[in-house]
Amino acid sequence: MPELPNTVIYQLRITLRGISPLIWRRLLVYAETSIADLHYILQLAMGRTDSHLHRFLIHGKEYGIAYDGGMGFADDPRQMRVADFRFRLRERFLYEYDFGDNWQHDIRVEQIVAEEAKTVLERIQQRIVEQQAAEYLRTQRSCLQCGNKRSHKGDHRVTIRTLFGKLRLTSPRLYHCQCQPHRVRTFSPLAERLLERKTPELLYLETKWASLMSYGMTTKLLDEVLPIGKHVNAATVRNHLQAVAERTEAELGEEQVFFIDGCPRD
Ligand SMILES: [Zn+2]
């Protein structure tokens, strides 16, 4: 039998035991994902804060990250990878978190997919983003004030980061219409629209994760969960979080001190 390619993705379905209505998540993790990282991924996916003890129960044996005063484990969770367990389809294992509340998560291996699936996702993403860009550009071809067609000066390429990797898009440069005064003669609507050079989904994930944990850990997780990590580092994640925070702040408008009982700066 031919060996599976190096990078294999496991589709896991996580259900929380004894809770109604059912709480469940579906995750894709690399076969190379360590047990320690799977723990972090589960914490995120289930909206937990990693503030209690945990353990995995796999093939009758316990695994997990040991903490002072907690239980110990025979194997290093950073060395044990999902692939090492040679899971079969539909096989189950258990993840327990917080031995006080005792949250028991059944994890079932729903699918084992080869890396090629990622390429399919990349292509789909490329088509979707191209389509979105084309639709946006259609609204920019004519002057919004007088409706006259804007002249086309030329094209350049912009690189956009998405959840599934980098995409290159053609970004046209257009002349401003003469009907209104402008500081500059030309502009690039697409480049201006995508200031952060990222799709909103990626920006959302980066920002959301970075607000929950360290930039380094966010980068590591992005690398683990999505095929984009090579292009992301802690500094970019921090810059993006900053940019999004500043934009959100600006959108809130002027602080209305008048309505607050006393000035908060007093
Ligand atoms: Zn005009």
Distance between Cα 180 and ligand 1 center (Å) = 6
pLDDT of residue 248: 66
Distance between Cα 140 and ligand 1 center (Å) = 12
pLDDT in tens, 25-70: 988 888 889 999 999 999 988 888 888 999 999 999 999 999 888 8
Distance between Cα 181 and ligand 1 center (Å) = 10
Distance between Cα 136 and ligand 1 center (Å) = 18
Distance between Cα 70 and ligand 1 center (Å) = 70
**DSSP letters for 2-37:** PPPPS-EEEEEEEEETT-SS--EEEEEEETT-BHHH
Model pTM? 0.45
What number is the average pLDDT over the span 115-142?
Answer: 80
**DSSP letters for 117-180:** HHHHHHHHHHHHHHHHHHHHHHTTSB-TTT-PBPPEEEEEEEEEEETTEEEEEEEEEEEPPTTS
Q: Is 179 exposed, middle or buried (0-12, 13-18, 19+ CB in 10 A)?
A: exposed
In the chain, what are the domain boundaries? Answer: 8-114, 117-193, 200-252
Distance between Cα 196 and ligand 1 center (Å) = 28
With bands split at pLDDT 50, 70 and 90, how would you rate the model's confidence at 262?
Answer: very low
* ω into 21 cis (within 30 of 0): yes
Distance between Cα 145 and ligand 1 center (Å) = 5
Higher pLDDT, 128 or 186: 186
Distance between Cα 131 and ligand 1 center (Å) = 26
Distance between Cα 142 and ligand 1 center (Å) = 8
pLDDT in tens, 93-107: 999 999 888 999 999
Distance between Cα 170 and ligand 1 center (Å) = 24
8-114: CATH number: 3.10.290.30
Distance between Cα 146 and ligand 1 center (Å) = 4
Distance between Cα 214 and ligand 1 center (Å) = 48
Higher pLDDT, 171 or 237: 171
